[in-house]
Amino acid sequence: MQQYVYTQVNGEINMQATLDRTDLRILATLQTHGRITNAELAAEINLSPSACLRRMQKLEADGVIAGYGARLEPRSLGLGLQAFVRVQLSRHEAEAIDQFTERVAEWDEVVSCYALTGDMDYLLQVYVADLEGFSRFLLDRLLNAAGVADVNTSFVLRTVKASTALPLGNVAV
């Protein structure tokens, strides 16, 4: 039976599943071999296929495994320019923040958006075809969004490391 650790942060109660070494081995294998069959995964971690499947289903139900998907190569799809855009809002009331985040959620060019501490409020990761595409995104979308006070962009010259795998070596068991 799965055990949970409950924590409270800023009045919000969070539930975190406790994982054992076998769970971590399943997760580590899935992070690098997402298309592995259940039978292959079971053999890899020395479990029966039925026990392996039950553990995977439990990890999915607990939200530890958030989903499955293919990693696409942006350049092969004509998305040759990647940018990180730091955005500062002019107002920080809940309504202004909600309006901005709702707009960002509608923009396909933005593949991730993070609320930040520090001098900028948000960090957007943007993929477009080229500089002209970025100019259209910036001028037609981002700078037209209500409440945007400042924008600072850095273009990616070269990707040194890009991984979606989480560091499981530091997870408590």
Whether residues 143 and 79 share a domain: the answer is yes
Instruction: Kindly state whether residue 164 falls inside one of the protein's structural domains.
Output: no
Is 107 within 8 Å of 141 (Cβ atoms)?
Answer: yes
pLDDT, tens digit, 9 for 90 and up, residues 39-60:
999 999 999 999 999 999 999 9
Whether residues 62 and 81 share a domain: the answer is no
Say what the pLDDT of residue 146 is: 82
Bridge partners of 89, per DSSP, are 148
Domain boundary among 46, 69, 92: 69
Nearest to 123 by CA among 95, 153, 102: 153
Whether residues 83 and 138 share a domain: the answer is yes
pTM: 0.84
The answer to whether residue 140 scores a pLDDT higher than 80 is yes
* CA dihedral of 105, 108, 111, 116, whole degrees rounded to 10: -40
Say what the pLDDT of residue 81 is: 98
In the chain, how many domains are there? 2
Measured CA to CA, the distance from residue 38 to residue 24 in angstroms comes to 16
Q: Return mean pLDDT, the chain.
A: 91
Q: What distance lies between CA 105 and its chain's CA centroid?
A: 14
Say what the pLDDT of residue 173 is: 72
Whether residues 82 and 45 share a domain: the answer is no
The answer to whether residue 3 scores a pLDDT higher than 60 is no
Instruction: Kindly state whether residue 103 falls inside one of the protein's structural domains.
Output: yes
Print the domain residue range for 63: 4-69
Instruction: Kindly state whether residue 172 falls inside one of the protein's structural domains.
Output: no
The answer to whether residue 97 scores a pLDDT higher than 60 is yes
The answer to whether residue 6 scores a pLDDT higher than 90 is no
| Mean pLDDT of all residues in 33-43 | 96
Task: Count Cα neighbours of 110 within 13 Å in the Cβ-side half-sphere.
Answer: 21
Bridge partners of 88, per DSSP, are 150
Whether residues 37 and 79 share a domain: the answer is no
